[in-house]
Amino acid sequence: MTFPGLMMQQPLTLRLCLERAETLFPDRGATTKTPGGMVRTTYGQIGERCRRLANALTTLGIEPGDRVGSFAWNSTRHLELYLGVPCMGAVLHTLNIRLHPEQVAWIANHAEDKIVFVDESLLPVFAQVAPHLTTVKHIVVMADGPLPPAAPDGALSYEDLLAAASPSYAWPDLDENAACAMAYTSGTTGNPKGVVYSHRAMTLHAFMSCMVDSNGIGEADVCLPIVPMFHANAWGIPWAAALAGANIVFPAQYMTPPDILSLIESERVTFTAGVPTIWIGALPEVQKGTCDLSSLQRVVIGGAAVPLSLIKAYDDLGIRILQGWGMTETGPLASLSRPLSTMDATMSREELQTVRAKQGLPVAGVELRIMGEDGVAPWDGKTFGEVQVRGNWVARTYYNDERSPESWTEDGWLRTGDVAIVDATGFVQLVDRTKDLVKSGGEWISSVDLENAIMGHPKVAEAAVIAIPDEKWSERPMACVVPKPGETLTSDELIAHLSGILPKWWLPETIAFIDEVPKTSVGKFDKKVLRARYADGTLAP
Protein backbone atom coordinates (compact mmCIF):
# COMPACT_ATOMS: atom_id res chain seq x y z
CA MET A 1 0.00 0.00 0.00
CA THR A 2 1.32 3.44 -0.91
CA PHE A 3 0.42 6.86 0.42
CA PRO A 4 1.26 9.50 -2.21
CA GLY A 5 2.15 12.81 -0.67
CA LEU A 6 2.42 11.38 2.86
CA MET A 7 5.99 12.60 3.23
CA MET A 8 7.72 15.73 2.01
CA GLN A 9 10.10 14.75 -0.79
CA GLN A 10 13.29 16.83 -0.63
CA PRO A 11 15.94 16.03 -3.25
CA LEU A 12 19.13 14.68 -1.71
CA THR A 13 21.66 17.11 -3.19
CA LEU A 14 24.87 18.64 -1.86
CA ARG A 15 22.97 21.90 -1.50
CA LEU A 16 21.84 20.44 1.84
CA CYS A 17 25.46 20.45 3.04
CA LEU A 18 26.21 23.96 1.85
CA GLU A 19 23.02 25.62 3.07
CA ARG A 20 22.99 23.85 6.43
CA ALA A 21 26.58 24.93 7.14
CA GLU A 22 25.92 28.53 6.08
CA THR A 23 22.56 28.85 7.87
CA LEU A 24 23.14 27.02 11.16
CA PHE A 25 26.91 27.35 11.61
CA PRO A 26 27.86 30.67 9.96
CA ASP A 27 30.63 31.40 12.46
CA ARG A 28 32.37 28.04 12.08
CA GLY A 29 34.26 27.06 8.98
CA ALA A 30 37.62 26.25 7.44
CA THR A 31 41.25 27.02 8.21
CA THR A 32 44.08 26.67 5.69
CA LYS A 33 47.81 26.75 6.35
CA THR A 34 49.51 29.17 3.95
CA PRO A 35 53.05 30.59 3.57
CA GLY A 36 51.79 33.67 5.41
CA GLY A 37 50.16 31.80 8.27
CA MET A 38 46.74 30.36 9.05
CA VAL A 39 43.82 31.75 7.01
CA ARG A 40 40.38 31.33 8.60
CA THR A 41 37.11 31.51 6.66
CA THR A 42 33.63 31.03 8.14
CA TYR A 43 30.85 28.99 6.58
CA GLY A 44 28.96 32.26 6.26
CA GLN A 45 31.76 33.65 4.11
CA ILE A 46 32.14 30.38 2.22
CA GLY A 47 28.45 30.42 1.33
CA GLU A 48 28.75 33.89 -0.18
CA ARG A 49 31.94 32.98 -2.04
CA CYS A 50 30.23 29.86 -3.45
CA ARG A 51 27.43 32.05 -4.86
CA ARG A 52 29.99 34.40 -6.39
CA LEU A 53 31.76 31.35 -7.83
CA ALA A 54 28.52 30.09 -9.39
CA ASN A 55 27.91 33.48 -11.02
CA ALA A 56 31.49 33.60 -12.29
CA LEU A 57 31.24 30.12 -13.79
CA THR A 58 27.96 31.03 -15.47
CA THR A 59 29.61 34.09 -17.01
CA LEU A 60 32.40 31.85 -18.33
CA GLY A 61 29.82 29.65 -20.07
CA ILE A 62 29.69 26.72 -17.67
CA GLU A 63 26.36 24.92 -17.88
CA PRO A 64 24.76 22.06 -15.93
CA GLY A 65 26.64 18.84 -16.53
CA ASP A 66 29.86 20.54 -17.65
CA ARG A 67 33.03 19.21 -16.02
CA VAL A 68 35.03 21.66 -13.92
CA GLY A 69 38.53 20.46 -13.11
CA SER A 70 40.61 21.20 -10.02
CA PHE A 71 44.38 20.82 -9.75
CA ALA A 72 44.88 21.72 -6.14
CA TRP A 73 45.94 20.91 -2.59
CA ASN A 74 43.55 20.57 0.34
CA SER A 75 42.46 24.15 1.01
CA THR A 76 39.47 26.38 1.68
CA ARG A 77 39.36 27.44 -1.97
CA HIS A 78 39.18 23.77 -2.93
CA LEU A 79 36.31 23.37 -0.44
CA GLU A 80 34.50 26.23 -2.22
CA LEU A 81 34.82 24.24 -5.44
CA TYR A 82 33.55 21.11 -3.66
CA LEU A 83 30.41 23.00 -2.63
CA GLY A 84 29.81 25.68 -5.27
CA VAL A 85 30.47 23.72 -8.46
CA PRO A 86 28.03 20.82 -7.79
CA CYS A 87 25.34 23.08 -6.30
CA MET A 88 25.12 25.10 -9.53
CA GLY A 89 24.68 21.86 -11.50
CA ALA A 90 28.20 21.41 -12.88
CA VAL A 91 30.44 18.42 -12.11
CA LEU A 92 33.60 18.84 -10.04
CA HIS A 93 36.43 16.75 -11.48
CA THR A 94 39.41 16.52 -9.12
CA LEU A 95 42.67 15.91 -10.99
CA ASN A 96 45.45 13.97 -9.29
CA ILE A 97 48.42 16.34 -9.02
CA ARG A 98 50.87 13.46 -8.52
CA LEU A 99 50.23 11.60 -11.77
CA HIS A 100 52.48 12.03 -14.79
CA PRO A 101 51.56 15.25 -16.67
CA GLU A 102 50.62 13.37 -19.83
CA GLN A 103 48.33 11.10 -17.81
CA VAL A 104 46.70 14.10 -16.12
CA ALA A 105 46.07 15.61 -19.56
CA TRP A 106 44.64 12.33 -20.82
CA ILE A 107 42.22 12.24 -17.87
CA ALA A 108 41.14 15.88 -18.34
CA ASN A 109 40.59 15.30 -22.05
CA HIS A 110 38.70 12.06 -21.48
CA ALA A 111 36.41 13.80 -18.98
CA GLU A 112 36.09 16.77 -21.36
CA ASP A 113 36.87 19.35 -18.69
CA LYS A 114 35.81 22.85 -19.75
CA ILE A 115 37.77 24.77 -17.11
CA VAL A 116 40.53 23.96 -14.62
CA PHE A 117 41.26 25.69 -11.30
CA VAL A 118 44.96 25.53 -10.38
CA ASP A 119 46.76 26.35 -7.13
CA GLU A 120 49.57 28.88 -7.54
CA SER A 121 52.20 26.56 -6.06
CA LEU A 122 51.29 23.89 -8.64
CA LEU A 123 51.70 26.10 -11.71
CA PRO A 124 55.18 24.68 -12.57
CA VAL A 125 53.69 21.17 -12.61
CA PHE A 126 50.57 22.26 -14.48
CA ALA A 127 52.73 23.94 -17.13
CA GLN A 128 53.64 20.42 -18.30
CA VAL A 129 49.94 19.49 -18.50
CA ALA A 130 48.46 22.58 -20.19
CA PRO A 131 49.93 22.10 -23.70
CA HIS A 132 48.19 18.71 -24.01
CA LEU A 133 44.68 19.86 -23.03
CA THR A 134 42.13 19.78 -25.85
CA THR A 135 38.78 20.66 -24.24
CA VAL A 136 39.73 23.23 -21.58
CA LYS A 137 38.59 26.77 -22.41
CA HIS A 138 39.74 28.59 -19.28
CA ILE A 139 42.46 28.18 -16.66
CA VAL A 140 41.83 29.89 -13.32
CA VAL A 141 44.71 30.44 -10.90
CA MET A 142 43.91 30.29 -7.19
CA ALA A 143 46.31 32.74 -5.53
CA ASP A 144 46.45 35.86 -3.41
CA GLY A 145 47.17 39.14 -5.15
CA PRO A 146 47.81 39.59 -8.88
CA LEU A 147 48.35 36.72 -11.28
CA PRO A 148 51.83 35.27 -10.73
CA PRO A 149 54.39 35.32 -13.57
CA ALA A 150 54.13 31.53 -13.90
CA ALA A 151 50.44 31.73 -14.86
CA PRO A 152 49.68 30.49 -18.40
CA ASP A 153 48.83 33.05 -21.06
CA GLY A 154 45.18 34.02 -20.82
CA ALA A 155 44.76 32.61 -17.31
CA LEU A 156 42.18 34.17 -15.02
CA SER A 157 42.45 35.09 -11.34
CA TYR A 158 40.15 33.23 -8.94
CA GLU A 159 39.94 36.14 -6.53
CA ASP A 160 39.32 38.65 -9.33
CA LEU A 161 36.52 36.49 -10.71
CA LEU A 162 34.83 36.28 -7.30
CA ALA A 163 35.29 39.98 -6.59
CA ALA A 164 33.59 40.91 -9.87
CA ALA A 165 30.69 38.44 -9.43
CA SER A 166 27.42 39.10 -7.64
CA PRO A 167 26.98 37.56 -4.16
CA SER A 168 23.33 36.84 -5.05
CA TYR A 169 22.58 33.52 -6.71
CA ALA A 170 19.51 31.28 -6.59
CA TRP A 171 20.69 27.70 -6.36
CA PRO A 172 18.76 25.56 -8.88
CA ASP A 173 16.55 22.65 -7.84
CA LEU A 174 18.63 19.78 -9.16
CA ASP A 175 17.74 16.17 -9.83
CA GLU A 176 19.33 14.17 -7.00
CA ASN A 177 20.48 11.59 -9.56
CA ALA A 178 22.42 14.19 -11.54
CA ALA A 179 26.22 14.01 -11.47
CA CYS A 180 27.97 16.14 -8.87
CA ALA A 181 31.58 14.94 -8.93
CA MET A 182 34.01 12.81 -10.86
CA ALA A 183 37.28 11.07 -9.99
CA TYR A 184 39.61 8.68 -11.78
CA THR A 185 41.35 5.64 -10.38
CA SER A 186 45.11 5.83 -9.93
CA GLY A 187 45.72 3.82 -13.08
CA THR A 188 48.24 1.24 -11.86
CA THR A 189 47.46 -0.82 -14.97
CA GLY A 190 46.28 0.74 -18.22
CA ASN A 191 44.62 4.12 -18.41
CA PRO A 192 42.80 5.35 -15.29
CA LYS A 193 39.06 4.72 -15.10
CA GLY A 194 36.55 7.47 -14.40
CA VAL A 195 33.90 7.22 -11.70
CA VAL A 196 30.95 9.64 -11.70
CA TYR A 197 29.13 10.34 -8.42
CA SER A 198 25.53 11.53 -8.10
CA HIS A 199 24.25 14.14 -5.66
CA ARG A 200 22.13 11.48 -3.98
CA ALA A 201 25.13 9.17 -3.53
CA MET A 202 27.42 11.78 -2.02
CA THR A 203 24.73 13.29 0.20
CA LEU A 204 23.88 9.87 1.61
CA HIS A 205 27.60 9.18 2.03
CA ALA A 206 27.90 12.42 4.03
CA PHE A 207 25.01 11.38 6.30
CA MET A 208 26.63 7.97 6.80
CA SER A 209 29.97 9.57 7.65
CA CYS A 210 28.27 11.54 10.43
CA MET A 211 26.84 8.40 12.04
CA VAL A 212 28.32 7.61 15.44
CA ASP A 213 29.26 4.07 14.34
CA SER A 214 30.99 5.40 11.23
CA ASN A 215 33.40 8.35 11.23
CA GLY A 216 31.11 9.99 13.76
CA ILE A 217 31.70 13.52 12.46
CA GLY A 218 29.64 16.00 14.51
CA GLU A 219 29.36 19.74 15.03
CA ALA A 220 31.89 19.67 17.90
CA ASP A 221 34.61 18.14 15.72
CA VAL A 222 37.65 19.74 14.17
CA CYS A 223 38.42 17.64 11.08
CA LEU A 224 41.81 17.38 9.39
CA PRO A 225 41.58 15.50 6.08
CA ILE A 226 45.12 14.39 5.29
CA VAL A 227 43.79 12.23 2.44
CA PRO A 228 44.03 14.49 -0.63
CA MET A 229 40.96 16.23 -1.98
CA PHE A 230 42.11 15.03 -5.43
CA HIS A 231 41.72 11.40 -4.30
CA ALA A 232 38.30 9.73 -3.89
CA ASN A 233 36.60 12.95 -2.73
CA ALA A 234 38.91 13.17 0.30
CA TRP A 235 36.86 10.22 1.55
CA GLY A 236 33.79 12.51 1.62
CA ILE A 237 35.08 14.42 4.66
CA PRO A 238 34.60 17.96 3.21
CA TRP A 239 30.89 17.35 2.56
CA ALA A 240 30.34 15.53 5.87
CA ALA A 241 32.05 18.32 7.83
CA ALA A 242 29.87 20.95 6.15
CA LEU A 243 26.72 18.92 6.77
CA ALA A 244 27.58 18.53 10.46
CA GLY A 245 28.80 22.10 10.89
CA ALA A 246 32.23 20.85 12.01
CA ASN A 247 35.32 22.98 11.67
CA ILE A 248 37.75 21.71 9.06
CA VAL A 249 41.51 22.25 8.81
CA PHE A 250 43.45 22.04 5.54
CA PRO A 251 47.23 21.45 5.39
CA ALA A 252 47.63 22.62 1.75
CA GLN A 253 51.13 21.63 0.61
CA TYR A 254 52.43 21.23 4.17
CA MET A 255 52.21 17.46 4.41
CA THR A 256 55.31 16.39 6.38
CA PRO A 257 54.73 14.61 9.71
CA PRO A 258 55.96 17.63 11.75
CA ASP A 259 53.58 19.91 9.80
CA ILE A 260 50.62 17.58 10.35
CA LEU A 261 51.35 17.09 14.05
CA SER A 262 51.77 20.84 14.53
CA LEU A 263 48.35 21.43 12.95
CA ILE A 264 46.73 18.84 15.21
CA GLU A 265 48.21 20.58 18.23
CA SER A 266 47.53 24.21 17.27
CA GLU A 267 44.02 23.68 15.87
CA ARG A 268 42.95 21.11 18.49
CA VAL A 269 42.01 18.57 15.82
CA THR A 270 39.65 15.80 16.99
CA PHE A 271 39.32 13.72 13.81
CA THR A 272 41.75 13.01 11.02
CA ALA A 273 42.09 10.53 8.17
CA GLY A 274 44.86 9.43 5.82
CA VAL A 275 46.85 6.50 4.45
CA PRO A 276 49.11 4.29 6.64
CA THR A 277 52.37 5.74 5.30
CA ILE A 278 51.51 9.13 6.85
CA TRP A 279 51.20 7.61 10.30
CA ILE A 280 54.16 5.28 9.89
CA GLY A 281 56.27 8.34 9.10
CA ALA A 282 54.77 10.34 11.98
CA LEU A 283 55.31 7.68 14.65
CA PRO A 284 58.93 8.63 15.57
CA GLU A 285 57.85 12.26 15.97
CA VAL A 286 54.86 11.31 18.13
CA GLN A 287 57.04 9.08 20.29
CA LYS A 288 59.27 12.06 21.08
CA GLY A 289 56.32 13.52 23.00
CA THR A 290 57.01 17.08 21.88
CA CYS A 291 53.51 17.70 20.44
CA ASP A 292 50.29 17.97 22.44
CA LEU A 293 47.90 15.60 20.66
CA SER A 294 45.45 15.31 23.56
CA SER A 295 42.56 16.70 21.47
CA LEU A 296 42.80 13.85 18.94
CA GLN A 297 39.95 11.37 19.42
CA ARG A 298 39.84 9.35 16.19
CA VAL A 299 42.33 8.53 13.46
CA VAL A 300 40.85 6.71 10.47
CA ILE A 301 43.40 5.03 8.22
CA GLY A 302 42.60 3.54 4.82
CA GLY A 303 44.02 3.00 1.36
CA ALA A 304 46.11 0.01 2.48
CA ALA A 305 46.08 -2.51 5.31
CA VAL A 306 47.11 -1.07 8.69
CA PRO A 307 49.81 -3.11 10.44
CA LEU A 308 48.74 -4.39 13.84
CA SER A 309 52.08 -3.15 15.16
CA LEU A 310 51.12 0.42 14.18
CA ILE A 311 47.79 0.17 16.00
CA LYS A 312 49.57 -1.10 19.12
CA ALA A 313 52.25 1.60 18.96
CA TYR A 314 49.69 4.40 18.78
CA ASP A 315 47.52 2.77 21.48
CA ASP A 316 50.55 2.96 23.77
CA LEU A 317 50.60 6.71 23.08
CA GLY A 318 46.89 7.13 23.77
CA ILE A 319 45.87 7.57 20.12
CA ARG A 320 43.13 5.31 18.74
CA ILE A 321 43.38 4.15 15.14
CA LEU A 322 40.34 2.86 13.26
CA GLN A 323 40.83 1.14 9.94
CA GLY A 324 38.56 1.93 7.00
CA TRP A 325 38.24 0.26 3.64
CA GLY A 326 36.94 1.42 0.31
CA MET A 327 37.82 2.36 -3.25
CA THR A 328 37.28 5.20 -5.69
CA GLU A 329 34.40 3.09 -7.00
CA THR A 330 32.77 2.78 -3.54
CA GLY A 331 32.36 6.46 -2.88
CA PRO A 332 34.73 5.60 -1.07
CA LEU A 333 33.90 4.40 2.47
CA ALA A 334 32.52 0.85 2.50
CA SER A 335 33.56 -0.57 5.89
CA LEU A 336 35.08 0.58 9.18
CA SER A 337 36.75 -1.33 12.01
CA ARG A 338 34.92 0.11 15.02
CA PRO A 339 34.51 -2.73 17.57
CA LEU A 340 30.98 -3.54 18.69
CA SER A 341 29.88 -2.59 22.20
CA THR A 342 29.72 -6.28 23.12
CA MET A 343 33.36 -6.61 22.09
CA ASP A 344 34.37 -3.62 24.20
CA ALA A 345 32.72 -5.26 27.18
CA THR A 346 34.18 -8.76 26.78
CA MET A 347 37.49 -8.54 24.91
CA SER A 348 40.97 -7.81 26.16
CA ARG A 349 42.97 -4.83 24.92
CA GLU A 350 44.98 -7.11 22.62
CA GLU A 351 41.85 -8.74 21.20
CA LEU A 352 40.30 -5.35 20.47
CA GLN A 353 43.47 -4.29 18.70
CA THR A 354 43.17 -7.36 16.49
CA VAL A 355 39.58 -6.37 15.66
CA ARG A 356 40.70 -2.85 14.70
CA ALA A 357 43.37 -4.35 12.44
CA LYS A 358 40.54 -5.77 10.30
CA GLN A 359 38.70 -3.75 7.67
CA GLY A 360 35.59 -3.87 9.83
CA LEU A 361 31.83 -3.96 9.38
CA PRO A 362 30.20 -2.79 6.16
CA VAL A 363 28.85 0.71 6.82
CA ALA A 364 25.11 1.36 6.72
CA GLY A 365 24.12 1.68 3.07
CA VAL A 366 26.58 -0.88 1.68
CA GLU A 367 26.02 -4.60 1.07
CA LEU A 368 29.03 -6.92 0.99
CA ARG A 369 29.60 -10.54 0.04
CA ILE A 370 32.58 -12.81 -0.47
CA MET A 371 32.56 -14.73 -3.74
CA GLY A 372 34.56 -17.96 -3.57
CA GLU A 373 35.28 -20.60 -6.16
CA ASP A 374 31.97 -22.33 -5.39
CA GLY A 375 29.79 -19.25 -5.11
CA VAL A 376 29.01 -16.95 -2.21
CA ALA A 377 31.30 -17.89 0.69
CA PRO A 378 30.05 -18.33 4.27
CA TRP A 379 30.93 -15.81 6.97
CA ASP A 380 32.98 -18.29 8.97
CA GLY A 381 36.24 -16.41 9.39
CA LYS A 382 38.22 -18.85 7.27
CA THR A 383 36.70 -19.18 3.78
CA PHE A 384 38.11 -16.51 1.54
CA GLY A 385 37.10 -15.10 -1.80
CA GLU A 386 36.78 -11.87 -3.73
CA VAL A 387 35.03 -8.97 -1.99
CA GLN A 388 31.97 -7.78 -3.92
CA VAL A 389 29.89 -4.78 -2.87
CA ARG A 390 26.89 -2.77 -3.93
CA GLY A 391 25.07 0.10 -2.30
CA ASN A 392 23.81 3.66 -2.36
CA TRP A 393 27.17 5.20 -3.27
CA VAL A 394 28.82 2.28 -5.05
CA ALA A 395 29.29 2.95 -8.77
CA ARG A 396 27.57 0.81 -11.38
CA THR A 397 29.89 1.56 -14.31
CA TYR A 398 32.96 3.51 -15.38
CA TYR A 399 32.62 6.70 -17.37
CA ASN A 400 32.80 6.04 -21.10
CA ASP A 401 34.98 2.96 -20.63
CA GLU A 402 34.63 -0.38 -22.41
CA ARG A 403 36.26 -2.16 -19.43
CA SER A 404 33.15 -1.73 -17.24
CA PRO A 405 31.69 -5.24 -17.81
CA GLU A 406 34.87 -6.75 -16.35
CA SER A 407 34.28 -5.04 -12.98
CA TRP A 408 30.54 -5.54 -12.36
CA THR A 409 28.29 -8.57 -12.23
CA GLU A 410 25.05 -8.54 -14.18
CA ASP A 411 23.07 -7.80 -11.02
CA GLY A 412 25.23 -4.81 -10.05
CA TRP A 413 27.85 -6.15 -7.63
CA LEU A 414 31.26 -4.45 -7.92
CA ARG A 415 34.11 -6.93 -8.26
CA THR A 416 36.73 -5.19 -6.10
CA GLY A 417 39.74 -7.42 -6.75
CA ASP A 418 40.32 -7.66 -2.98
CA VAL A 419 40.43 -11.08 -1.35
CA ALA A 420 39.02 -11.38 2.18
CA ILE A 421 37.38 -13.48 4.85
CA VAL A 422 34.37 -12.41 6.94
CA ASP A 423 33.76 -13.66 10.46
CA ALA A 424 30.40 -14.54 12.01
CA THR A 425 29.95 -10.99 13.35
CA GLY A 426 30.33 -9.53 9.84
CA PHE A 427 33.83 -8.11 10.26
CA VAL A 428 35.80 -8.13 7.02
CA GLN A 429 39.52 -8.96 6.98
CA LEU A 430 41.39 -8.49 3.73
CA VAL A 431 43.75 -11.28 2.83
CA ASP A 432 45.24 -9.59 -0.23
CA ARG A 433 44.63 -8.10 -3.62
CA THR A 434 44.05 -10.86 -6.17
CA LYS A 435 47.16 -9.70 -8.06
CA ASP A 436 49.29 -9.65 -4.88
CA LEU A 437 48.59 -13.14 -3.54
CA VAL A 438 51.58 -15.48 -3.68
CA LYS A 439 50.73 -18.99 -4.90
CA SER A 440 53.49 -21.27 -3.70
CA GLY A 441 53.26 -24.99 -4.36
CA GLY A 442 49.55 -24.65 -5.04
CA GLU A 443 48.88 -22.90 -1.69
CA TRP A 444 48.12 -19.21 -1.15
CA ILE A 445 50.30 -16.89 0.93
CA SER A 446 48.86 -13.53 1.95
CA SER A 447 51.31 -10.73 1.25
CA VAL A 448 49.30 -8.51 3.64
CA ASP A 449 49.68 -10.90 6.59
CA LEU A 450 53.36 -11.40 5.84
CA GLU A 451 53.94 -7.63 5.59
CA ASN A 452 52.15 -7.03 8.89
CA ALA A 453 54.25 -9.68 10.61
CA ILE A 454 57.48 -8.18 9.25
CA MET A 455 56.45 -4.66 10.32
CA GLY A 456 55.91 -6.05 13.79
CA HIS A 457 59.68 -6.30 14.18
CA PRO A 458 60.88 -3.34 16.29
CA LYS A 459 63.62 -2.47 13.80
CA VAL A 460 61.35 -2.34 10.71
CA ALA A 461 59.82 0.89 9.37
CA GLU A 462 58.15 -0.42 6.19
CA ALA A 463 57.82 -3.70 4.31
CA ALA A 464 56.28 -4.86 1.05
CA VAL A 465 56.00 -8.46 -0.13
CA ILE A 466 55.90 -9.54 -3.77
CA ALA A 467 55.85 -12.86 -5.59
CA ILE A 468 59.00 -13.92 -7.43
CA PRO A 469 59.37 -16.90 -9.79
CA ASP A 470 60.61 -20.20 -8.38
CA GLU A 471 61.39 -23.34 -10.37
CA LYS A 472 60.20 -25.74 -7.67
CA TRP A 473 57.25 -23.89 -6.10
CA SER A 474 56.18 -21.70 -9.05
CA GLU A 475 56.22 -18.60 -6.80
CA ARG A 476 57.83 -17.64 -3.51
CA PRO A 477 57.42 -14.51 -1.40
CA MET A 478 60.14 -11.89 -1.49
CA ALA A 479 60.28 -9.27 1.28
CA CYS A 480 61.42 -5.72 0.57
CA VAL A 481 62.22 -4.21 3.95
CA VAL A 482 63.06 -0.68 5.11
CA PRO A 483 64.87 -0.63 8.50
CA LYS A 484 64.15 2.21 10.89
CA PRO A 485 66.68 5.07 10.77
CA GLY A 486 69.85 4.16 12.62
CA GLU A 487 68.96 0.46 12.89
CA THR A 488 70.91 -2.46 11.45
CA LEU A 489 68.85 -5.53 10.59
CA THR A 490 69.89 -8.89 9.14
CA SER A 491 67.90 -11.52 7.28
CA ASP A 492 68.58 -14.02 10.07
CA GLU A 493 67.10 -11.66 12.67
CA LEU A 494 63.98 -11.17 10.60
CA ILE A 495 63.47 -14.87 9.90
CA ALA A 496 63.90 -15.66 13.60
CA HIS A 497 61.19 -13.11 14.37
CA LEU A 498 58.82 -14.53 11.74
CA SER A 499 59.44 -18.16 12.72
CA GLY A 500 57.46 -17.76 15.90
CA ILE A 501 54.51 -16.16 14.11
CA LEU A 502 53.98 -17.72 10.68
CA PRO A 503 54.06 -21.20 9.09
CA LYS A 504 57.53 -22.21 7.96
CA TRP A 505 56.55 -22.42 4.29
CA TRP A 506 55.46 -18.75 4.38
CA LEU A 507 58.93 -17.53 5.35
CA PRO A 508 60.72 -15.65 2.53
CA GLU A 509 64.09 -16.98 1.41
CA THR A 510 64.80 -13.69 -0.35
CA ILE A 511 64.90 -10.43 1.59
CA ALA A 512 65.96 -7.09 0.10
CA PHE A 513 66.86 -4.26 2.46
CA ILE A 514 65.95 -1.01 0.69
CA ASP A 515 65.91 2.69 1.54
CA GLU A 516 62.22 3.24 0.80
CA VAL A 517 59.20 1.33 -0.48
CA PRO A 518 58.03 3.04 -3.71
CA LYS A 519 54.70 4.85 -3.30
CA THR A 520 51.82 5.51 -5.69
CA SER A 521 50.42 8.99 -6.28
CA VAL A 522 48.14 8.59 -3.26
CA GLY A 523 50.73 7.17 -0.86
CA LYS A 524 50.10 3.43 -1.21
CA PHE A 525 52.93 0.91 -1.61
CA ASP A 526 53.62 0.62 -5.34
CA LYS A 527 54.37 -3.06 -5.79
CA LYS A 528 54.48 -2.91 -9.57
CA VAL A 529 57.76 -0.99 -9.28
CA LEU A 530 59.18 -3.68 -7.01
CA ARG A 531 57.95 -6.46 -9.33
CA ALA A 532 59.75 -4.82 -12.24
CA ARG A 533 62.90 -4.32 -10.19
CA TYR A 534 63.04 -7.92 -8.99
CA ALA A 535 61.31 -9.63 -11.92
CA ASP A 536 63.90 -12.40 -12.11
CA GLY A 537 63.95 -12.99 -8.37
CA THR A 538 67.46 -11.67 -7.79
CA LEU A 539 68.57 -8.89 -5.47
CA ALA A 540 70.38 -6.92 -8.16
CA PRO A 541 68.88 -3.38 -8.28
Q: What residues are annotated to the active site? A: 185, 329, 439, 444
Cα–Cα distance for residue pair 90/258, rounded to 1 Å: 37
| Residue of 73, 396, 104, 397 whose CA lies nearest to 228 | 73
Residues 6+ apart with CB under 8 A from 495: 507, 511
Residues 6+ apart with CB under 8 A from 342: none
Q: 385-391 and 333-336 as β-strands: parallel, antiparallel, unpaired?
A: unpaired
Cα–Cα distance for residue pair 494/515, rounded to 1 Å: 17
Cβ 314 vs Cβ 299: under 8 Å: yes
| Residue of 327, 305, 164 whose CA lies nearest to 231 | 327
Task: Give the other-Cβ count within 10 Å of 127's Cβ.
Answer: 14
Cα–Cα distance for residue pair 122/116, rounded to 1 Å: 12
Distances (CA, A) of 458 to 355, 455, 462: 22, 8, 11
Cβ 357 vs Cβ 311: under 8 Å: yes
Cβ 26 vs Cβ 245: under 8 Å: no
Cβ 233 vs Cβ 227: under 8 Å: no
Cα–Cα distance for residue pair 401/79, rounded to 1 Å: 29
Beta strands across the sheet bearing 510-513: 460-470, 474-483, 510-513
| Residue of 192, 128, 159 whose CA lies nearest to 49 | 159
3-state secondary structure of 533: helix
Cα–Cα distance for residue pair 34/54, rounded to 1 Å: 25
| Residue of 254, 236, 252, 249 whose CA lies nearest to 82 | 236
List beta partners, residue 210: none
| Residue of 242, 230, 36 whose CA lies nearest to 118 | 230
Cβ 343 vs Cβ 408: under 8 Å: no
**DSSP assigned state of 133:** -
Q: Rounded to a whole number, what is the distance in angstroms from the first to the last CA of the chain?
A: 69
Task: Give the other-Cβ count within 10 Å of 149's Cβ.
Answer: 6
Amino acid identity, position 244: A
Residues 6+ apart with CB under 8 A from 170: none
